[in-house]
Amino acid sequence: MPQMKHTKQLRMRLRLEPNQTLETIVSHTVPIKISTKSETHMMTTRQLKVEPLPGATFGAVITGIDLTNLSSAMWADIEAAFNEHGMLIFPAQYLAADAQAIFAKRFGSLEGAGPKRADGARSISNRRPDRTALTERDPTWLTLSYPTRHWHMDGTFNPVPPKICMLSAVSIPSRGGQTGFADMSAAYDALDQPTRDRIAGLNSYHSNLVGTTRVLPQPNQEDLNTLVGDAPQDGYYGLGYRADAPLRPLVKYHPVTRRPSLFVGRHAFGIPGMSGEESERFLNELETFACRLPRVYEHKWQVGDLIVFDNRRLLHRACPYDEQGETRELLNCRIAGDAQTDAGLATVEAQRSVEVQRAELARLRRRKAS
């Protein structure tokens, strides 16, 4: 190999010995493959620090890292920490949309394409492009802004929901607007055995329209009815509604860790074998039990924060804030799920989803109107 010529100045800056070349320095700084047991020591060496959230069953804060400049060893640390903790918080990253998308793609393919879902980070905001605030009559507020205040997993009403989601803060309100997370693996672990036995073979349908109708305040319901009509059909109003509704188990086994999780949240309804009322009551009981300390964490955003969370394990929700007077803008990326492990069930009951969803929507509307 030909010797590299180095100027005296460069050799001094690199502290090269007379017999050393730049190649020898580089060969000594190749990242070292680490084992799990030596993780703490090696993380200190590379300045990357993983601190589990105190008092919570999940989540960790990662500091000492620049997400736009990761070595393969750093990425291995991040991926391992993600699978263990289910949610990672990276403070003060200040990533632009394209940089966030590049980091997100390390976790897998980004979800969707086309005009509504570009292959990159998309903005979630209470402001329109002309900077005026969305009102409660706006389709995006009705179908996206308000419903996300309730515990949910993203996109479980679609055939294959995203497996991982990423948010970062561009603008934050002075009060409120936190994002809450809840650990459904720890919730399953905390169930008593009779409840585990009871839910072992149960499934529920998942619908965005049913979930939104259930949680939307009565004064806003007429606007939603006008928007979507009398029967569920495919449409996109800020977030998608579908005529069909996937059937999913109440217990989901994580495809990587194999840990069981409670699969509940705003979109779940209509457990086959139960009446609409029974099913709603039971799912509410499970969710109320699940979303309690130490299984919940509420993140108070700082501009520049980035959070990546496991959509197969955690529920999440947005906290209210002054939507007319303040601005909240987050950048969102979703990593596509795997059809093999994240698709709905293919059973006879699953094929009845269109009529089941229609009946449940009618029941909820009747109840609100009475």
Structure tokens at 214: 């259930």
CB of 161 to Fe ion, least distance (A): 11
Give the Cα separation of 116 and 147 in Å (integer): 19
What number of other Cβ atoms are within 10 A of residue 360's Cβ?
A: 23
**Which part of the chain contacts Fe ion (CB under 5 A), choosing from 22-30, 65-73, 144-152, 193-201?**
144-152
Rule CB under 5 A: choose which of 77, 138, 154, 323 binds Fe ion: 154
The CA-based dihedral angle spanning residues 286, 300, 74, 26, taken in that order and rounded to the nearest 10 degrees: 180
Nearer to Fe ion, 266 or 363 (CB): 266
CA distances from 309 to 89, 125, 152 (A): 9, 20, 13
Nearer to Fe ion, 154 or 360 (CB): 154
Nearer to Fe ion, 148 or 208 (CB): 148
Nearer to Fe ion, 265 or 276 (CB): 265
Residue with tokens 């569920």: 232
**Which part of the chain contacts Fe ion (CB under 5 A), choosing from 23-31, 76-84, 94-102, 141-149?**
141-149
Establish whether the linkage from the previous residue to 91 is cis, with ω within 30° of 0. Answer: no
Give the DSSP letter of residue 127: B
Which residue of the chain is nearest Fe ion when measured via CB? 154
Site size toward Fe ion, by CB under 5 A: 2
For 118, how many CA atoms within 13 A lie in the half-sphere containing its CB? 9
Structure tokens at 347: 């059973």
CB of 307 to Fe ion, least distance (A): 12
**Which part of the chain contacts Fe ion (CB under 5 A), choosing from 2-10, 142-150, 251-259, 297-305?**
142-150
What number of other Cβ atoms are within 10 A of residue 318's Cβ?
A: 22
CB of 152 to Fe ion, least distance (A): 6
**Which part of the chain contacts Fe ion (CB under 5 A), choosing from 13-21, 35-43, 149-157, 334-342?**
149-157
Nearer to Fe ion, 104 or 191 (CB): 104
Q: Does 310 bind Fe ion (CB under 5 A)?
A: no
CB of 178 to Fe ion, least distance (A): 13
Residue with tokens 């409840």: 195
* Cross-strand bridge partners of residue 309: 87, 165
Q: Does 244 bind Fe ion (CB under 5 A)?
A: no
Query: Which of 109, 111, 125, 135 lies closest to 240 in space, CA to CA?
Result: 111
**Which part of the chain contacts Fe ion (CB under 5 A), choosing from 46-54, 153-161, 302-310, 333-341?**
153-161
Q: Does 183 bind Fe ion (CB under 5 A)?
A: no
DSSP-derived secondary structure for 152-199: B-TTTTSSS--SEEEEEEEE--SS---EEEEEHHHHHHHS-HHHHHHH
Nearer to Fe ion, 43 or 134 (CB): 134
Nearer to Fe ion, 48 or 124 (CB): 124
Q: Does 111 bind Fe ion (CB under 5 A)?
A: no
Residue with tokens 């399953």: 188
Nearer to Fe ion, 74 or 153 (CB): 153
Nearer to Fe ion, 155 or 270 (CB): 155
CB of 295 to Fe ion, least distance (A): 18
80-99 binders of Fe ion (CB under 5 A): none
159-182: b (≥16 Cβ within 10 Å) or e: ebbbbbbbbbbbbbbeeebbbbbb
Phi, psi for residue 277 in degrees, rounded to 5? -65, -45
200-239 binders of Fe ion (CB under 5 A): none
Binding site for Fe ion (CB under 5 A): 148, 154
